Amino acid sequence: MSCEDCVSRREFLGKTTLAVAGAAALAAGCGDGQFGPTTLVASTDTALSVKVASVPALATVGQLVRVGPASAYVAVKRTGAASFAAIRVICTHEGCETNIQASNIFVCPCHNSRYDSDGKVTKQPDGGGSATNLPTIAAKYDAATDTLTIG
Ligand code: FES
């Protein structure tokens, strides 16, 4: 029986080893073995309305507060008696969801970028690359109804 297209055992093992080595090199990726974000949050442009009195933490000027559904929350900060700022929480490096720390900063769990309470970058990601400031979102407060509309 002839087998012109057959691969010898040695050729097969050689090709398989190359494929495995290639996959391992890809898995190493950017050095941390991680491909992009581990925690993605769906972006949304849908306006979000919040009764400010229903979120007690929003009574404190300067405190970052998570507002909105878990899958698409934003950070909100009271900036004055009747003014608020809203900031997207998705890291601008590779899109991971940042965490709001008790010290009112954003920390990205993926490569450790840090942002101040205004969303400005204070530390670039570990391992290279760069992050830019977190985007702000329009936040309009209606004192008559105590309603904050974001987006
Ligand atoms: S995704 Fe890399 S630091 Fe945030």
- Report CA(129)–ligand 1 centroid distance (Å): 9
Number of domains in the chain: 1
pLDDT number for residue 87 = 97
62 closest CA partner among 92, 91, 103, 90: 103
Task: Tell me, yes or no, whether 100 lies in a domain.
Answer: yes
pTM: 0.70
Does ligand 1 come within 6 angstroms of the Cβ of 97? no
In this structure, the strands spanning 99-100 and 83-88 are: unpaired
Nearest CA to ligand 1 atom 3: 111
Domain hosting 101: range is: 48-150
pLDDT number for residue 46 = 64
Give yes or no for residue 97 having a pLDDT over 80.
yes
pLDDT tens-place string over residues 102-143 = 999 999 999 999 999 999 999 999 999 999 999 999 999 999
pLDDT number for residue 21 = 37
Nearest CA to ligand 1 atom 1: 94
The number of the ligand 1 atom at minimal distance from the alpha carbon of 37 is 1
Task: Tell me, yes or no, whether 53 lies in a domain.
Answer: yes
Mean pLDDT value across the chain = 78
Nearest CA to ligand 1 atom 2: 111
pLDDT number for residue 45 = 53
